Structure 1
C-alpha cells in the first residue's frame, strides 16, 4: 500500500466517524444535513453543467460527484473540475 492511499483511507475513516457520531447524537438533524448536502451537490452540478456547456466542459452527475460537491461545496466542485481536466488532458 502506498503512503498516499494510507492517508486517503485515514481521511475516509475520520470523515465516516464524524458522520456516524453526528448521526447517533441527533439522527433527524444529521439526516436533514445529509439530504441538504446532497441537494446542494445536485444543484451545483446542474448549474456547472449549464454554464460549462459554453466552455465544452461536462461533469457526470453520479453519487460520487454529488457527494463531493455537496459535502465540500464549491471547493469540491473545483476539485472535480481539476480532476476531470487532468484525467482527460
Structure 2
C-alpha cells in the first residue's frame, strides 16, 4: 500500500474512534448513576428490614434511593434523622 493510503486509513480510524467513543461517556455516567440508585434502594430495603424493630422506616422511592445511593451511608443516616426528627 502507498503511504498516503496508510496515513488516510489510520486517520479515518482515529476519527471513527473519537466519534464513537464520545457518545459512550454520557451513557456510562448514566449507567453508573442508575446502579448507584439501585444500590441505594437496596440500602433502604435492609434498613427497613433491620430497623423495623427500632421503629425506623424510610420509604423507598426514587428520591430517597438517589440520596442513599449517591451519598452512601451518610445519606442513609441523614434520611433516618430526617424521618425521625423532622417528619
TM-score range, shorter chain: 0.5 to 0.7
Paired with 2:36 and 2:60, the residues of 1 have a C-alpha distance of 14
- Size of the alignment, in residue pairs? 65
Q: Structure 2 unaligned segments of length 5 or more: list them.
A: 1-22
CA RMSD in angstroms, aligned pairs only? 1.5
Shift of 1:51: 0.6
- Distance in 1 between the 2:76 and 2:56 partners? 13
Residue equivalent to 2:36: 37
Q: Partners of 1:32 and 1:68 in 2: how far apart?
A: 16
Separation in structure 2 between the aligned mates of residue 63 and residue 28 of structure 1, nearest angstrom: 19
Q: Give the TM-score of the pair, scaled to structure 1.
A: 0.67
Determine helix, strand or coil for the equivalent of 1:52: helix
Structure 2 partner of 1:87:
86
Match of 2:25 in 1: 26
Distance in 2 separating the partners of 1:28 and 1:60? 28
1:63, 1:39 → 2: CA distance? 9
Determine if the alignment matches structure 1 residue 60 to structure 2 residue 62: no
Query: Taking structure 2 as the reference length, what is the TM-score of the superposition?
Result: 0.68
Distance in 1 separating the partners of 2:36 and 2:59: 17
